[in-house]
Amino acid sequence: MSQLPAEVILHIIELHPVTQTLTSLTLRLLLNHCLYLDSDKRLDLVLPQLLTDDGNQKVDPTGLFLAPFPDQLSLHICGNLRRLVIDVPLRYLYPDEDVQGLRKIIRASFVRLTQLEEFCSVRDEMYCDTVEDGIEPPVWSLWPRLKHLALYNQSVEWPAFLKALQQCPNLTHLVLTRPDSLTEPLDSGLEDLKWWSFLKRVVIINTARDHEIELEQREPDWPTSFLGYLLRLQHPDGAASNILSQDTNPVLEYITVNIPPGREEDDIDLCQEFTHHHAVQGTLWSYPGSRYSIK
């Protein structure tokens, strides 16, 4: 009995209506929920898939990992995007060096993503300032639906950061990877600002040795720091318990990133890789942590 060549069989399968239907449905699901753009080449291949021949929106992506960030893509996805992970070095170009006005385009592209509920910046604290030492609010504070936020190397004593937290009534989960100024006293003018009031869980990510260094370098007035305030909220007592309800205070935990052999000097890369991986997988927000125990 004669047999058809494999090339012919594969050609028949590829052209079969069932195969074409499954391929179309799979592509649509991938575009809607699993966009992973880590190069300009991938971006160029995806952009035509988002639109019909007459320029109308074909799919509405809701989840995205992004390394390049063109303004054109932002226009197409801003109406429905719910989850975004970016690996973009936003501090590569500072406002005083931006002679072409690129930072204004980048900031505007982010600002329009008003449907975002989950956001992670792998490389930095989402530095989108367009002027040096300006008073622009963090872009993430302009997203009314934001529930989960992860930032890298955020200066947590910065008044604008703390005030922005209070401007996000839906923000419940805050993940800070290798934050700065964790034990430095906060501005005394912020004593009455309950910047933690909407948060349910705060997580600090670092390597074991950098967790230890942060705690070992505490100054005597560290109880008035970001970390100090959150630790007090874990165990309110006396008069404080009349003001602070333990049921509504955020849970404070830390996550330790392991250092494998041969990468003893790669604390930064290892922490960024950990955050990147779990943010893309969707496990960052529920990843188990440990409670602080400070004497």
Percent of the chain with pLDDT over 70: 70
pLDDT per residue as tens digits for the range 134-181? 688 999 999 999 999 999 999 999 999 999 999 999 999 999 999 999
- Torsion-angle region of residue 153: left (phi > 0), alpha (psi -120 to 50) or beta? left
Is the pLDDT at 132 greater than 80? The verdict is: no
Query: Residues 39, 33: contact at Cβ < 8 Å?
Result: no
Mean pLDDT of 27-48: 64
What confidence score (pLDDT) does residue 88 get?
A: 85
pLDDT per residue as tens digits for the range 57-98? 666 666 666 665 556 666 777 778 899 999 888 888 888 888
Query: Residues 109, 72: contact at Cβ < 8 Å?
Result: no
**Radius of gyration, CA atoms only, the chain:** 23
Alpha-carbon gap, residue 117 to 145, rounded angstroms? 5
Alpha-carbon gap, residue 160 to 136, rounded angstroms? 9
What confidence score (pLDDT) does residue 63 get?
A: 65
What confidence score (pLDDT) does residue 244 get?
A: 47
Helix (H) or strand (E) holding 36: strand 35-37
Q: State the pTM of this model.
A: 0.79
Closest CA to 65 of 294, 283, 282: 282
Give me the residue spans of the domains in the chain: 1-33, 34-291
